[in-house]
A = this chain, B = another copy of it.
Amino acid sequence: MMEYKLLSNIKGPDDVKKLSQAELKELAAEVREALFNRTTKIGGHFGPNFGAVELTIALHYVFDSPKDQFVFDVAHQTYTHKMLTGRAIAYTDDAHFGDICGFTNPKESEHDMFYIGHTSTSVSLATGLAKGRDVTGKKGNVVAIIGDGSLSGGEALEGIDYAGEMDTNLIIIVNDNEQSIAENHGGLYKNLEQLRKSGGACEINLFKAMGLDYKYVEEGNDIEALIKAFSQVKDIDHPIVVHVHTQKGKGYPLAEKNKEEWHYAIPFNRETGEKVSYGNGESYQDIFGKYMLDKIGNNDKVVCVTAAVPGAVGLEWDVRSKMGKNYIDVGIAEEQAVAMCSGIAKNGGKPVFVTNATFAQRVYDQMTQDVSLNSSAVTTVLFSSSIYGMGDATHIGISAIGMFANIPGVVYLSPTSREEFLAMLEHSVEQNDHPTIIAVPCDGVNNMIYPVDSNYDKTDKYQVCEEGEKAAIIALGDFFNIGVETAKLVEARMGKKATLINPRFASGVDRELLDRLCEDHDVIVTLEDGILEGGFGQKIASYLGGKNVRVLNYGFIKKFYDGMSAKDALEESRITPDCIAQDIINGIKA
């Protein structure tokens, strides 16, 4: 077991300041050992943290957190920051891995200004801290730390532009490791390269063009150089960009070489780099990637568009490299992705935008104005729009139905199985009439139980899978299986078969079917993998509000779900076959 001679004595930033330059280097080595200890065993953001060790040590050496305030963009590179602010035990002691989350969180420490997990927000938040400091008469530096990958996001560019007209202390550290999650995309990265190559001297300069003062530091993994640079800008009276050139994955040759693979690591063998596999089953990512590759092979009007997260959505290098010009990564720029898709569709192309549901939150306006108001046939595929999977409040996608399915003109499809997902994709890409959202199931790859009705022309037509009596269960998307299990329980307990329905469309209300169900059913149940308020089931309850039938909606209580298991969340909102079956039986008229 490692000793952590210095790290074990770091209780807070003050202890960092006591160390000599030589000791700071030793501290960096210990921090990397602690990073290995955690990431080899439970995984985590690897490259961003290994690259930012020296940067973070220098920040805490020079500035005085929390009086000086740090805002780390995305906050997935803050493992060193956590270690230096009293949380080293969560990296050095396996029993304490669970003490922390993967991002900054004010509930964990006064040194964490915000709970952050999305990219490109740091500069805007920091401009606010600076203004708040000034109007309340506080003192101190405000420091935003933003990676090069995050710079392409609209919020970051708006923030940098606004910062360019402020006349107060604000330090923007651009941590440039020449890489986004995957490769960088956007014209500004040519300028970053020019700046790196010229040692910051190149006349063409994005930051100066936005009105900011500018300083370049080539040795971004050299603590001494960083301390010198940060000392020079500390207490500055105007906004400045400090452009620091770091190496992503620094300290682990495999990660230095293959930056995309090692952006995030699942548990791995340190000697060989071999990953501890999560299992070899087929994933919806695989299914999607394969579909797109085949489709593009047969139709060169099809264009697959991502916003910096290809690896998370089945578009690893070996897949996307085969797509040639029919693959577009716009970088972290979801608004650009969606508006661009509308333009592609307008000229007869077939755009498919794919991302995680949580990041799609950035395009409500674009989906409304640029796409739906223009009836552009854009297909948007959302991964992780579900309680299953990601556990941080910053990344959970259970607001997707409420966000998109209520936009006029948007058809929101929720497949229940592998076959239905493919049928919906195919339909969506082939039609020319309206935007479609497809919420990829997240409860594992299921095969169809009932024949897939692949006619989606009527955008509010549900599929009746089982005709039953008294109770009808309308179970959407990846909660269809909960519906199936509930129906079984109802039959076992009551001896009566319930009607089982796959609604397919989260955006539509099948009035005809509901009217018919009312005639001879006492209870109608809806099930959805999303927050109840603003969601699918409430549309049904509203439509049937004046009818003589009970409607029971099952979905999640409106709140932020943070680090909660899917099982606990389902139980808390009573979304279990047992609870629902009992409610149905209680609701059926004697």
Contact = CB atoms under 8 A, between A and B. Distances in A.
Interface of A: 69, 71, 106, 113-118, 121, 124-136, 138, 152-155, 157-165, 185-191, 203-206, 208-212, 300-301, 303, 325-326, 328, 330-331, 333, 335-336, 339-349, 351, 361-362, 364-366, 368-370, 372-374, 393-394, 399, 402-403, 405-409, 531-535, 537-539, 541-542, 544-546, 550-553, 558-560, 583, 587
Contacts of A160: 187
Contacts of A370: 114, 121, 124-125
Q: How often does this chain occur in the complex, in copies?
A: 2
Contacts of A187: 160-165, 210-212
Contact of A158 (B153, B203, B325): B153
A185 B158 contact: no
Given A206-B206, A348-B136, A546-B551, A188 B211 contact: yes
A369 B118 contact: yes
A116 B408 CA distance: 16
B340 A374 contact: no
9 contacts: A69-B347, A121-B366, A135-B303, A153-B158, A155-B339, A163-B187, A191-B210, A361-B369, A408-B560
Contact of A116 (B114, B117, B331, B369): B369
A364 B403 CA distance: 9
A125 to B, nearest CB: 5
A569 to B, nearest CB: 13
Contacts of A535: 534
Contacts of A114: 342, 346, 370, 374
A151 B207 CA distance: 15
Contacts of A587: 546
Contacts of A205: 204, 209
B553 A542 contact: yes
Nearest to A398: B408
Given A408-B559, A559-B408, A587-B546, A124 B165 contact: no
B162 A340 contact: yes
B135 A346 contact: no
Contact of A130 (B343, B369, B372): B343
Contact of A136 (B340, B349, B394): B349
B373 A560 contact: yes
